[in-house]
């Protein structure tokens, strides 16, 4: 038990030290500092708030930070939505109440999962007729994104497609992977996002069509991304996981080190 607790603490330290920096927001247009906060602007009218910690601020000081951050984004008419990313292990008195008071709405908490890439990079048999491949062409990225929107109930975003195609063209390490059935239908998909100047690569957007779940496809897709991460020199994998993917990642050897809850504001 002590070894497990020490390992969890080690992974959580690595997460805080290496990921809660500008490395967290590749592709951003601008980053402004406000005390401990990083106020990030993305294309498509998206704002994002994150931080390493809140520096021991009390409830009154945190309330002032929330108000000031919202004022900053509201002054830019191009910003239509903001995500404030909270973590369950932070000391943040009054943050939840202040975010609610300023019009932010919490979404479902997710598990912060971290583990050794080598633990995931194993051979996983695929169902007959299913194959994996990495995609780079715009038509494949669009088809993959459409499938993910169907699974997650999201809406198409041309700004998102433009942003990721710019990143693919820049060659910053972003990868998209899909699993296809014999007829060409995309049945599962996800991306790999190596984090510069860190030991980490993130696995994100994991989605599998319901009729194909429970057949090892998502696990195989995760293993393929882990192998690619190792080839890029990344030894740790992290992901914010829903309750659908958390058990799969736990069976693969990842550890739940904390939780994260996004709070959303829309103009």
For residues 109 and 155, give the distance between their C-alpha atoms in angstroms, rounded to a whole number: 21
What is the token pair recorded at 108?
């479902």
Strands 105-106, 46-51: pairing is unpaired
Q: What is the pTM of this model?
A: 0.85
pLDDT value for 243: 81
Residue 5 pLDDT level (bands cut at 50, 70, 90)? confident
For residues 239 and 110, give the distance between their C-alpha atoms in angstroms, rounded to a whole number: 9
Domain ranges of the chain: 2-109, 115-260
16-55 residue pLDDT tens: 999 998 888 877 889 999 999 999 998 888 999 999 999 9
DSSP line for 93-157: TTHHHHHHHTT-EE---EEEEEEEHHHH----PPPTT-EEEEE-SHHHHHHHHHHHHHHHT----
Q: Please indicate whether residue 181 or residue 248 has the higher confidence score (pLDDT).
A: 181
CA terminus-to-terminus distance, the chain:
47
CATH of 115-260, picked from 3.40.47.10, 3.40.630.30, 3.30.230.10, 3.90.1150.10, is 3.40.630.30
DSSP line for 163-186: HHHHHHHHTSS-EEEEEE-TTS-E
- Report the SS3 class of residue 249: helix
**CA within 13 Å, CB half, 80:** 5
Strands 110-116, 30-34: pairing is unpaired
């Amino acid at each position: 038990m002590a070894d497990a607790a020490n390992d969890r603490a080690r992974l959580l330290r690595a997460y805080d030290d290496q990921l809660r920096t500008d490395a967290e927001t590749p592709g951003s247009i601008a980053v402004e500092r406000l005390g401990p906060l990083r106020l990030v602007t993305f294309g498509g009218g998206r704002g994002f708030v994150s931080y390493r910690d809140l520096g021991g601020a009390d409830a009154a000081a945190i309330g002032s930070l929330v108000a000031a951050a919202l004022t900053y984004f509201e002054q830019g008419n191009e910003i239509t939505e903001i995500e404030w990313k909270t973590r369950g292990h932070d000391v943040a008195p009054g943050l939840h109440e202040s975010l609610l008071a300023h019009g932010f709405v919490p979404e479902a908490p997710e598990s912060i999962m971290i583990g050794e890439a080598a633990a995931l990079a194993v051979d996983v048999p695929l169902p007959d007729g299913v194959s994996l491949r990495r995609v780079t062409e715009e038509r494949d990225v669009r088809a993959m994104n459409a499938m993910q929107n169907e699974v997650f109930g999201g809406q198409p975003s041309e700004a998102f497609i433009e942003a990721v195609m710019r990143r693919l063209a820049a060659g910053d390490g972003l990868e998209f992977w899909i699993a296809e059935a014999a007829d060409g239908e995309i049945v599962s998909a996800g991306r790999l996002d190596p984090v510069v100047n860190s030991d980490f690569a993130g696995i994100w957007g994991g989605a599998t069509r319901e009729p194909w779940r429970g057949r090892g496809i998502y696990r195989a897709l995760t293993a393929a991304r882990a192998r690619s991460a190792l080839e890029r020199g990344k030894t740790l994998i992290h992901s914010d996981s829903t309750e659908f993917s958390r058990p799969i990642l736990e069976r693969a050897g990842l550890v739940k080190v904390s939780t994260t809850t996004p709070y959303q504001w829309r103009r």
